[in-house]
């Protein structure tokens, strides 16, 4: 499945570059103010546990999660509920995301936003900045170490934070070797979609305390969040559970405060 997603992302890139060249994209970004305050990273320094609430219409394993997809309304609800940050899916084929979702949400909320996508080219980092993101996702399993370092440094140069996503100890070592300041552990195996939040707990000890540590995927209950918090996880990224809730505000309060 991951190979298919990357293949489709390559096709999207060709189309995007035909519509707007990298040089044109850079020129537009050069007109933007670039701050090195890194609001996304700062937002995750919650004394309790930070919640990154995800705006997600669908997933490869579950299909359509939300039929009535009022993405701006959902983002506003997350913000008013006290979410630390918002994650927005922009991958259109498997997750039914869109760059437009990110752009419109960034214009309507003030908390930091992660562009959740499969970054395989520097074009997508520049694009994330132009769309209004405060952070990008860099997945170790789809990038070689040269690409990972290049995209991480570029993100920081543009004032963007980067979650460097890992699945095992080897990938965590790679993330630390390139200077990751935020490391996420995806509890979902993207090849067979099995989920185990204990993956984050077992890998937490591999990451130094000065690096922000995020647990991603499969987090459903206040007990899950409490368990992760007890094991020094700094933040959790929650998508499907929130998207399916009819009362997102109450659920975020319950998850955050137990």
Q: Residues near 245 by Cβ (< 8 Å), separated by ≥ 6? A: 251
- Residue range 166-176: mean pLDDT, rounded: 96
Tell whether 189 is covered by a domain. yes
Q: How many distinct structural domains can be found in the chain?
A: 1
Q: Do residues 251 and 221 lie in contact, with contact meaning Cβ atoms separated by under 8 Å?
A: no
- Position 68 pLDDT exceeds 90: no
pTM: 0.95
User: Would you call 244 helix, strand, or coil by DSSP?
Assistant: coil
Tell whether 50 is covered by a domain. yes
Amino acid 194: pLDDT: 79
Tell whether 31 is covered by a domain. no
- Position 15 pLDDT exceeds 90: yes
**Residue 84: domain span:** 2-18+38-257
- Position 250 pLDDT exceeds 80: yes
Q: What angle, 0 to 180 degrees and rounded to 10, lies between the N-to-C axes of helices 122-131 and 2-19? A: 70
Tell whether 71 is covered by a domain. yes
User: What's the CATH number where 13 sits?
Assistant: 3.20.20.70
- Residue range 108-116: mean pLDDT, rounded: 98
Q: What are the residue numbers of the active site?
A: 54, 56, 116, 165, 186, 216-217
Tell whether 27 is covered by a domain. no
Tell whether 26 is covered by a domain. no
């Amino acid at each position: 499945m991951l190979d298919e997603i990357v293949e489709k992302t390559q096709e999207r890139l060709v189309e995007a570059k035909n519509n707007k060249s990298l040089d044109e994209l850079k020129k537009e970004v050069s007109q933007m103010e670039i701050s090195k305050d890194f609001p996304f990273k700062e937002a995750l320094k919650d004394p309790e546990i930070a919640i990154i609430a995800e705006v997600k219409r669908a997933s490869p394993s579950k299909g359509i999660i939300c039929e009535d997809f009022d993405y701006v309304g959902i983002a506003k609800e997350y913000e008013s509920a006290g979410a630390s940050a918002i994650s927005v899916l922009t991958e259109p084929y498997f997750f039914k995301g869109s760059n437009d979702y990110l752009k419109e949400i960034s214009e309507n909320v003030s908390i930091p936003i992660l562009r959740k996508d499969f970054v395989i080219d520097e074009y997508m980092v520049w694009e994330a900045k132009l769309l209004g993101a405060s952070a990008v996702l860099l997945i170790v399993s789809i990038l070689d170490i040269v690409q990972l370092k290049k995209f991480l440094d570029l993100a920081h140069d543009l004032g963007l934070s980067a979650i460097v996503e890992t699945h095992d100890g080897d990938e965590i070592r790679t993330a630390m070797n390139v200077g990751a300041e935020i490391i996420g552990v995806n509890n979902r195996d993207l090849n067979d979609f099995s989920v185990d939040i204990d993956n984050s707990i077992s890998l937490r000890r591999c990451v130094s305390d000065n690096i922000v540590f995020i647990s991603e995927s499969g987090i459903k209950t206040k007990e899950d969040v409490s368990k992760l918090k007890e094991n020094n996880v700094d933040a959790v990224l929650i998508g499907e559970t929130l998207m399916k809730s009819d009362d997102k505000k109450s659920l975020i309060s319950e998850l955050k405060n137990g």
